[in-house]
Amino acid sequence: MTTSSQQSHAARSTTKTFEQVIDSTSTMLYDVARSLVTRPERVNVKVTSANDITLFVLQVSPEDAELINGVQGRTIASLQTLVSVISARNQRKFRLKMQVQEAVPSSDA
């Protein structure tokens, strides 16, 4: 049987720093996005902070924007839900934005 002091100790030992939360959230978004797109080499996640809000900018190629948006925006909404849950659990304000990168010119010249 687990005592409340054991549970409390377990909770303290798994507490992450703000930087660790940012890194793990960014990595999660990166890994999920790369698994969904056709051009995983063009996926990038940038993180900016201003006014107590941390913004995760998920950058994808133009041809992969539809895949990240999903049907009726469900995929990007699901990713935002994950970010919101992480945000709430860590008492922070996180937001997710998708950014379509400019097309890279073909090198078939």
Hey, where are the domains in the chain?
Answer: 16-100
Nearest to 73 by CA among 63, 61, 82, 65: 65
Residue 65: Cβ-neighbour burial (10 angstroms; 0-12, 13-18, 19+): middle
Mind listing the pLDDT tens digit for each residue in 11-57? 555 688 999 999 999 999 999 999 999 999 999 999 999 999 999 99
pLDDT of residue 16: 86
16-100, superfamily in CATH?
A: K homology (KH) domain (3.30.300.20)
Question: Is the pLDDT assigned to residue 84 strictly greater than 90?
Answer: yes
Mind listing the pLDDT tens digit for each residue in 64-81? 999 999 999 999 999 999
- Six token digits for residue 5: 């002091």
